[in-house]
Amino acid sequence: MQSSLADHLKQFSRSVFVIAATCCYLGLAGCTPANDNDWQGYVEGEYVYVASSQAGRLDRLSVARGQQAVVGAPLFMLEAGDETAARNQAQRQLKAAEAQLADIQSGKRPQEQDVTRAQLIQAQAGAGKAVLQLHRDETQFQAGGIAKQQLDDSRAAADTANAQVRQWQSQLTVDRLPNRDAQVRGQQAQVAAAQAVLDQADWKLGQKTITATRAGLVFDTMYREGEWVAAGNPVLRMLPPENLKIRFFVPETTLGRLRVNQAVTLSCDGCQANVAAHISYISTESEYNPPIIYSNQSRAKLVYMIEARPAAADALKLHPGQPVEVKLP
């Protein structure tokens, strides 16, 4: 029994020694300074919320979640019956204003000018007849066949007929002229206003069919076809590759060695090769600082947020929320 107790004591002493040695090793390992060129971070995406300024029923959703969309690709279309009718109305109003302007600038219609021209011909015929009568009366007066009063009447009739000819000639010239400048400018303003209304109608109609202005991943869709979409509500979220960034935190003692546009290297689980990136932002405020007065002992606990962005082609290898390791090359 005493021998068994001694054996147990020996085994206990050996276990205590092993545990103590292990703790000492772990303590020494924890005291070993870490590599101050490596930091842990994560991938974050800045999403683009695609919406229309107009309300309407979602008639067509041309993309699905997880699909890569190129610039100019159709994304979705809202019903556009009211906007189409408004555009047609504005287009017809513009044509009416342009036609009225052309009418003002061209003077009277050809049929109206024909009426004035016929009046001129009639006046010319009357003037010719009056001139012939004047010549006859002058001959008769010289022969003493008529009184001077009759000759004066013939001269007055000839002058009146010639005046009527000049009147209708001037009227025909006026008929061929456009309206006054003020009327022309006023109608030109009406045409410009109608064009502006048409441009506005075209823009509203264009807002019913949305295409991709930037290439990227269709991260999520918020509506299904047939649902009503209020004006300004996003129909889908897109993630362009250039909107991916990496956030990581560095201690206050390392902050002075980093600068904007400085190159860093990213590595992650599943990445076949390291990804190059450049620092795009360095925070000017500390994060997670302890709620105590700063001192030489607490300064080591301060960290600062750093953002880095990879190239657009390399960003396709990363995913939002993915943990990464950031290193200085």
The model's pLDDT over 43-54, given as tens digits with 9 standing for 90+, comes to 999 999 999 999
Structural domains of the chain in order of their starting residue, each with its CATH number: 35-46+241-327 (2.40.30.170), 48-79+208-239 (2.40.50.100), 90-202 (1.10.287.470)
Please, what is the average pLDDT of the chain? 82
User: Mean pLDDT lowest for which of 149-153, 156-160, 285-289?
Assistant: 285-289
Residue (of 325, 329, 308) closest to 267 by Cα position = 325
Q: Which two tokens stand for residue 248?
A: 């990581």
Q: What is the pLDDT of residues 112-151, one digit of tens each?
A: 777 878 888 888 888 888 888 888 878 887 887 788 888 7
Q: Torsion over CA of 86, 88, 91 and 92, rounded to 10 degrees?
A: -110
Q: How confident is the model at residue 299 (pLDDT cuts 50, 70, 90)?
A: low
Measured CA to CA in angstroms, residue 318 lies from 56, 58, 216, 241, 266 at distances of 36, 32, 13, 9, 10
pTM for the whole structure: 0.63
Residue 45 CB-density burial (10 A; 0-12 exposed, 13-18 middle, 19+ buried):
buried
